[in-house]
């Protein structure tokens, strides 16, 4: 495995604590030219050779960032102060790095070999137990494989004896976004997929109608992905799918057409799903890290088991790279440090993801959840005295993105000429899997050009000279030239690999998973809990009875609960009035 990155630099300045490290980063950014990139290339034309890291065919070029040797050393010093090496060891040792929920974060075990030795330490009160996470995951994976092979062979059929041609996955959040991006990456544009995959997440009834339009219930297998089997949106959509199957095939068909990705065996049984069609995963698997688990069952059903296993192998390869590679050659570490620089030194509040492959069109949405649910935190982990304090520095930026080249004709106007700096990750495969090499060359040319244009920009002097060459009048030049200026000096990373195959898909997603962990460690937050999603759920469960039609309210004692602010109360009343239910 080839690996390279910037060499060690002597005489690193020690950083006594995180605050000093973040202060130092801001001071470096405020130096003359501290935010500029082009002077770095002028001083070192082959800068890319030192600021590119490799892991086999995968490369990370972060040379188009305003990071010089001093800034990079400060970032590594901050990583040392935050004990990134110790955190990495605790993570892979299965320690409860998810401190607020007293859980390990052992999603790496989901793609590890059974004998990898990955353990998960589970703490409950005074009780501590250790599970062989890799062995447990492998056992459930074997059960998944047998089920997938039975469906593909026709041993598992629908209630009428027809083979399954379509699989509908019902879930939301991590039970939807990760499986969707992986399934699309492994099936779009390929002619060897095993089943047609469909996804239903939004509780909007229109989404159900559109998703099931044209589907044959007799040939549709439905997967319900919910650890607790009580998530509101998933429960309502699952009930709708059950009614859809029952209306077409009868109540007894439920057992043949449904499988559950859950740990709530009682609720699953009440729904009508047989125990041998229930696939479980453990508390050490967070939702946004669960595509590798039974939650991702749709992936092998659609793409085939071999491709699913290759994707797991790619993720495990990145796990081993992150675990074993020194920090200076470590791709997740370097990608995370560049993000720290952009967020905490340059003050960038956003991050753009541009995958130049239409099969990765849902990758930005998955990374939105992965990063913003993980690191969208404002409170640090408890200190030595057990006190959790507000973070005195910014944490996760807002992520957004679209496939290239589509984005170039929408929001890239702002990225090039807007008043705020937006760092960009460009993601590209060197080789395509189709017979249009000219199209792929055009795709690559646009990716490279966008990154270069963001860095170089175009000055008013250049524009004036160009307009004059084309015969524009002085008055026209005065009026138009300022509007064509692109200031440049805007940072980007370019992530490139050989081709988008299952192995590279797994490796790419795992790269970002570990980048999130790196940044959470440096920010001193818990990247693995998600308490911020709870309040809205709780309030929604209280408001839902208040939206009950007036004629049915006698059966709903909580329908007149109230107690809201005047705006929410007025909105509820307006909603009921428009529906004729007030």
252 is annotated as an active-site residue: no
d(CA 557, CA 566): 22
Q: SS in 3 state form for 225-273? A: ECCCCCCHHHHHHHHHHHHHHHHHHCHHHHHHHEEEECCCHHHHHHHCC
The single residue of 537, 550, 552, 561 carrying the catalytic annotation is 537
What single-letter DSSP state applies at residue 440?
H
Question: Which of these, 114, 161, 143, lies nearest to 259 by C-alpha position?
Answer: 143
d(CA 528, CA 505): 22
The single residue of 409, 434, 483, 554 carrying the catalytic annotation is 409
The single residue of 373, 402, 513, 546 carrying the catalytic annotation is 373
d(CA 451, CA 378): 32
For residues 47 and 41, the answer to whether their CB atoms sit within 8 Å is yes
Q: SS in 3 state form for 24-55? A: HHHHHHCCCCCCCCHHHHHHCCCHHHHCEEEE
What is the rounded end-to-end Cα distance, in angstroms, of the chain? 68
371 is annotated as an active-site residue: no
Return the structure tokens found at 294.
């039974």
429 strand-pairing partners: 497
d(CA 179, CA 173): 10
d(CA 296, CA 185): 13
d(CA 109, CA 179): 17
CA angle 65, 70, 76 (to 5 degrees): 85
| Element of type H or E holding 333 | helix 331-340
Return the structure tokens found at 275.
């125990």
434 is annotated as an active-site residue: no
| Element of type H or E holding 94 | none
Active site residues: 373, 409, 537
């Amino acid at each position: 495995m080839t690996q390279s990155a910037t060499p060690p630099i002597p005489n690193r300045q020690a950083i006594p604590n995180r605050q000093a490290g973040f202060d130092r980063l801001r001071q470096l950014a405020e130096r003359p030219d501290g935010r500029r990139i082009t002077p770095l290339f002028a001083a070192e034309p082959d800068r890319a050779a030192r600021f590119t890291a490799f892991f086999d065919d995968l490369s990370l070029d972060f040379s188009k960032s305003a990071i010089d040797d001093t800034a990079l050393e400060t970032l590594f010093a901050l990583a040392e102060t935050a004990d990134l090496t110790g955190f990495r060891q605790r993570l892979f040792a299965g320690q409860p790095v998810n401190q607020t929920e007293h859980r390990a974060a052992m999603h790496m075990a989901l793609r590890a070999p059974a004998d990898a030795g990955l353990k998960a330490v589970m703490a409950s009160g005074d009780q501590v137990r250790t599970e062989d996470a890799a062995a447990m995951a492998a056992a459930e994976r074997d059960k998944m494989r047998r089920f997938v092979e039975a469906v593909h062979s026709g041993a598992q059929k629908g209630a009428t004896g027809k083979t399954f041609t379509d699989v509908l996955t019902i879930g939301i959040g991590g039970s939807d976004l990760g499986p969707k991006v992986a399934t699309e990456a492994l099936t779009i544009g390929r002619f060897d997929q095993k089943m047609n995959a469909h996804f239903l997440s939004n509780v909007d009834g229109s989404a159900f109608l559109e998703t099931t339009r044209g589907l044959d219930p007799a040939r549709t297998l439905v997967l319900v992905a919910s650890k607790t089997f009580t998530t509101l949106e998933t429960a309502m959509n699952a009930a709708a799918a059950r009614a859809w199957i029952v209306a077409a095939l009868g109540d007894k068909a439920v057992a043949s057409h449904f499988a559950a990705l859950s740990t709530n065996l009682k609720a699953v049984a009440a729904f009508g799903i047989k125990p041998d069609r229930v696939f479980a995963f453990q508390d050490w698997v967070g939702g946004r890290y669960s595509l590798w688990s039974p939650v991702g069952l749709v992936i092998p059903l659609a793409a085939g088991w071999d491709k699913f296993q290759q994707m797991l192998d790619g993720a495990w390869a990145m796990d081993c790279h992150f675990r074993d590679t020194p920090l200076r050659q470590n791709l997740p570490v370097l990608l995370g440090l560049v993000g720290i620089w952009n967020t905490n030194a340059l003050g960038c509040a956003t991050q753009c993801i541009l995958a130049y492959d239409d099969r990765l069109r849902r990758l930005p949405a998955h990374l939105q959840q992965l990063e913003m649910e993980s690191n969208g935190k404002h409170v640090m982990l408890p200190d030595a005295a057990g006190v959790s304090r507000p973070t005195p520095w910014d944490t996760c930026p807002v992520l957004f993105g679209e496939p290239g080249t589509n984005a170039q004709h929408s929001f890239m106007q702002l990225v090039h000429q807007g008043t705020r700096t937006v760092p960009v990750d460009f993601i590209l495969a060197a080789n395509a899997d189709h017979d249009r090499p000219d199209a792929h060359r055009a795709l690559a040319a646009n990716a490279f050009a966008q990154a270069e244009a963001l860095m170089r920009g175009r000055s008013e002097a250049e524009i004036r000279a160009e307009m004059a060459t084309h015969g524009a009048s002085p008055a026209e030049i005065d009026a138009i030239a300022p509007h064509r200026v692109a200031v440049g000096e805007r940072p980007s990373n370019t992530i490139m690999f050989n081709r988008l195959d299952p192995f590279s898909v797994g490796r790419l997603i795992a790269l970002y998973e570990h980048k999130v962990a790196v940044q959470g460690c440096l920010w001193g937050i818990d990247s693995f809990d998600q308490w911020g999603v709870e309040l809205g759920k709780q309030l929604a469960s209280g408001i839902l009875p208040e939206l009950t039609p007036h004629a049915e309210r006698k059966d709903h004692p909580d329908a007149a609960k109230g107690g809201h602010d005047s705006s929410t109360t007025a909105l509820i009343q307006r909603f009921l009035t428009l529906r004729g239910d007030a």
